[in-house]
Amino acid sequence: MTYMAIPNIGNYTIALATAVESLGIKAWASTATTPAALKLGIDAAPESVCLPLKAHLGHFIEADRAGVEYAFMVNSVGTCRLRYYRHMIGQILKDLGLKIKIFGLGFDGFKPPIVRHFDPGPITFIKPLFHTVQKIKAIDELEVAAWRTRAIEITHGDTTQAMNKLLVELSESRTMAQTRAIRKKAAACFAAIPVDKEKKPLKVGLVGEISFLRDKCLNKNIEYILGSQGIELRNFFLLGEELQNITRIVFLNQSRRKSLSKLADRYLQNSVGGHALDSVAYSIRCADEGYDGMIHLCPSGCMPEVSIRPILKRVSKDKDIPILEISYDEHTCGVGIATRLEAFADVLMERRKKNNSPAQRGKRAGHG
Amino acid sequence: MGKQMNNSCYLGIDVGSISTNCVVITPEGEVLCEIYKRGDGHPIESVQQCLAQLTAQLPDRFCIQGVCTTGSGRILAGAVVGADVIKNEISAHARATLHLYPEVQTILEIGGQDSKVTIVRDGAVVDFSMNLVCAAGTGSFLDSQARRLNITIEELSARAIMSENPTNIAGRCTVFAESDMIHKQQVGHEQKDITMGLCHALVRNYLSNVCNGKEIKPPIVFQGGVSANKGIHRAFKEALKCDIIIPPYNMVMGAYGAAIIASKSSIEKTRFRGKEASTKPIITQGFECGDCPNCCEIIEVLDAAEIIGRTGGRCGKWEGKTGPRESLRGTGPRCHVSGPSTGRETGHEMCRQVDDVPDLIQIGVPKK
């Protein structure tokens, strides 16, 4: 059996593994970077590059050691280093003398090189792709439901358990019918969790670099920590939404980026690459929608996210929304992150109490 | 009833990187006894010694009605003593300061390994910031420089305030500060001027790294272990050009805040393990979780054969749980791994060992 290593993007890796089957091969993947892989990456990469590159690199080195022959890496557009990730990773792997061959998504002619290399039949190719879309939609739904339920669940850990069970089933699902059945079951599963309906949880948006938003090893399990503090999350990277956005650009020529640029126009007119525009625009939108706070995850040395840090400070001041900056590198310690998150939750709670007091409400009505 | 109320008291424990502190207060917030103990890397023994000292100091008629732990060792300490509340140190410090100085606007806190700034407006915390990996703006910096000068930290404090013409020392990094200090020594600067120069270097580093972009408004309260150092107090006064308040109990503010939090938490029946927590030998044992490729080292805290708490997990399924090990296994979030294993994984069921792994890898044999 031929294997191909694919990058880790959290739970969505399960769906991407299905996509790889369209090439008639199997995926070598994990939903979170393992500490062992991260260590391999840190040893092999230059010290000053950002942590996501080290994580992906380590993952591919580990794959090579397991005897995997091929690897695949996305190369995004925009002025981020991610655009050169594949070339950099490929070069480092070559310098290390590893045999693994790394593919990108580039087109040269009608078929991308990756498809030409494996040359699958049309049926083998098309069917898993549709299945992948199904799975991505299913995972989107799971994520959204989990953020809501985890904040108000009565017994801690119920949501996480339900989510795990469904993800295992999803990773084992082989047909579209099975996946559809899981999607139907998921809603019932989450509805069955006993919750405190009276509780009005704090609402917090998560923005920043995508690997950190999705990989729970890199972000030190931030979604779980916040959820168990009773905070309802919105993580602004849903792969389903991203894909919808891409199809809109290709077929309808209406990019979500346009509406985001309009939103962020006062603060950011130039493209700084990566998901920097998204971070600024979503922070503004969340402030308008009455979120209690935002958390910005930023790998240290990430050019796009670092360049918008002063902008986010300004947004925070103008729109009166607290924004917590968390900067990660390989020395970041989980206890420090947990302490900051807990303290941030306390700050938001006090703010809400103060804003709900009659005096404040009168003041705000007067302004309005 | 009234008499019992008079005899009730609350305990706060702050387990920091350098010191372990305990404070006992009455329900009204009056301090009955305070203990500051420099630990030596044995948090459990330090907590036990503090408790033993405390039981000796506290009159017998007082009965502890609630316990709160804080600091970086809060979870472990919470398991050892049987804490009712476990709170992060940022909130605990702010709580104590707001209790003593309701009109405070800025709280500077410098401890052994951590330095924080907390911004308070109208009696509520609105923003905070904590040092990242660098310890150059913390107590450890002064400790190591004092050792280098071969004086105690108390002598350093006493000498610094006598200086009339402080030496300018580069304080960006402990290593640079040291080489600069050696240079200044050899040029012939007086020791009192060098010590004051070090204090200025620490304050400069703290203000530019931790307080970066924060609005420092008086009244300013300075607390934490380093606030006992008069040289730093003077350096802050000169740098911020305003009066800096050093509160009573400045060394144990975290523990004081924790005690206040315990007293306000309406605890019905405390889980405090009483005197026995300080006398019985408490041991810890570690094991590898192995439910997912993260392979967390879980630490179990044992009193005789009974498990009184667990720490060390990343996903939350072990934290503070006391049940038997097997009942907790397989409940938290985990990674889903597919493809051939590198042989590193433990008995993780999701790592499917595939039969047709190429014979490239042999477990235990180095690759080259």
C-alpha span between A57 and B257 (Å, rounded): 45
- Cβ neighbours for A78, distance < 8 A, ≥ 6 positions apart: A271, A273, A274, A304
Give the pLDDT of residue A359. Answer: 57
- Cβ neighbours for B182, distance < 8 A, ≥ 6 positions apart: none
Give the pLDDT of residue B317. Answer: 75
CATH code at position B311: 2.20.25
Q: Which residue among A63, A224, A336 sits closest to B316, beta carbon to beta carbon?
A: A224
Same domain, B91 and B141: no
Same domain, B117 and B216: yes
Q: Which residue, among B32, B31, B25, has the nearest Cα to B11 in the 3D structure?
A: B25
Note down the domain range covering B261: 2-97+254-279
Mutate to test the interface with B, among A21, A38, A342, A348 (most CBs of B within 10 A): A342
- Asked whether residue B356 is assigned to any structural domain, the reply reads no
Binning pLDDT at 50, 70 and 90, where does residue B2 land? Answer: very low
CA–CA distances in Å: residue B18 to residues A28, A152, B129, B158: 45, 37, 20, 21
* pLDDT, tens digit, 9 for 90 and up, residues B192-250: 899 999 899 889 888 888 888 888 998 999 999 899 999 999 999 999 999 999 999 99
CB B128, CB B118: distance < 8 Å: yes
Q: Which residue among A67, A336, A347 sits closest to B358, beta carbon to beta carbon?
A: A67
| Pairwise pLDDT comparison (B207 vs B274), residue with the higher score | B207
Inter-chain touch B317–A157, beta carbons under 8 Å: yes
Determine which of A306-315, B13-22, B84-93, B137-146 has the lowest per-residue pLDDT on average.
B137-146
Binning pLDDT at 50, 70 and 90, where does residue A42 land? Answer: very high
Span A318-328, average pLDDT: 91
Same domain, B155 and B240: yes
Provide DSSP, B270-294: ----TTHHHHS-EEEEEEE--SSTT
Give the pLDDT of residue A189. Answer: 92
> Mean of the per-residue pLDDT values for chain B?
81
Give the pLDDT of residue B344. Answer: 43
Give the pLDDT of residue A303. Answer: 83
- Cβ neighbours for B163, distance < 8 A, ≥ 6 positions apart: B190, B192, B193, B195, B196, B197
Measured between beta carbons, which residues in chain B are less than 8 angstroms from residue A3? 339-340
Give the pLDDT of residue A119. Answer: 82
Q: How far is B85 from chain A (nearest CA, A)?
A: 13
- Asked whether residue B365 is assigned to any structural domain, the reply reads no
CATH code at position B265: 3.30.420.40
| Pairwise pLDDT comparison (A124 vs B161), residue with the higher score | B161
* pLDDT, tens digit, 9 for 90 and up, residues A194-209: 999 888 899 999 999 8
Total Cβ atoms within 10 A of residue A131: 21
Provide DSSP, B87-127: --HHHHHHHHHHHH-TT--EEEEE-SS-EEEEEEETTEEEE
Residue A211 has, within 13 A of its CA and on its CB side, a CA count of 26
Give the pLDDT of residue B358. Answer: 37
* pLDDT, tens digit, 9 for 90 and up, residues B34-61: 999 887 778 888 898 888 898 888 888 8
- Asked whether residue B205 is assigned to any structural domain, the reply reads yes
Give the pLDDT of residue B331. Answer: 58
| Pairwise pLDDT comparison (A269 vs B103), residue with the higher score | B103
Same domain, B93 and B156: no
- Asked whether residue B118 is assigned to any structural domain, the reply reads yes
The residue assigned the tokens 């953020």 is: A147
- Asked whether residue B307 is assigned to any structural domain, the reply reads yes
- Cβ neighbours for A318, distance < 8 A, ≥ 6 positions apart: none
Binning pLDDT at 50, 70 and 90, where does residue B14 land? Answer: very high
The residue assigned the tokens 């204090």 is: B199
Span A339-355, average pLDDT: 90
ipTM above 0.90, yes or no: no
- Cβ neighbours for B311, distance < 8 A, ≥ 6 positions apart: B75, B76, B79, B298, B299, B301, B318, B319, B320
Inter-chain touch B124–A354, beta carbons under 8 Å: yes
Total Cβ atoms within 10 A of residue B89: 29
Total Cβ atoms within 10 A of residue A101: 16
Span B77-103, average pLDDT: 91
Same domain, B43 and B151: no
C-alpha span between A271 and A261 (Å, rounded): 9
Same domain, B112 and B229: yes
B75: nearest CA in chain A?
A335
CB B221, CB B97: distance < 8 Å: yes
* pLDDT, tens digit, 9 for 90 and up, residues A143-174: 999 998 999 988 887 888 888 889 888 888 88
Same domain, B16 and B143: no
- Asked whether residue B273 is assigned to any structural domain, the reply reads yes
Top mean pLDDT of B102-111, B295-304, B307-316 is at: B102-111
Q: How far is A15 from chain B (nearest CA, A)?
A: 12
Q: Is B325 exposed, middle or buried (0-12, 13-18, 19+ CB in 10 A)?
A: middle
Q: Which two tokens stand for residue A292?
A: 């209690």
Give the pLDDT of residue A37. Answer: 87
| Pairwise pLDDT comparison (B31 vs A251), residue with the higher score | B31
Amino acid at A52: P
Same domain, B208 and B260: no
Q: How far is A135 from chain B (nearest CA, A)?
A: 15
Total structural domains in chain B? Answer: 3
Inter-chain touch A351–B126, beta carbons under 8 Å: yes
Same domain, B75 and B106: no
- Asked whether residue B338 is assigned to any structural domain, the reply reads no
Binning pLDDT at 50, 70 and 90, where does residue B308 land? Answer: confident
Same domain, B51 and B80: yes
Same domain, B107 and B241: yes
- Asked whether residue B354 is assigned to any structural domain, the reply reads no
Give the pLDDT of residue B366. Answer: 41
Inter-chain touch A322–B337, beta carbons under 8 Å: no
Q: How far is A42 from chain B (nearest CA, A)?
A: 16
Same domain, B263 and B225: no
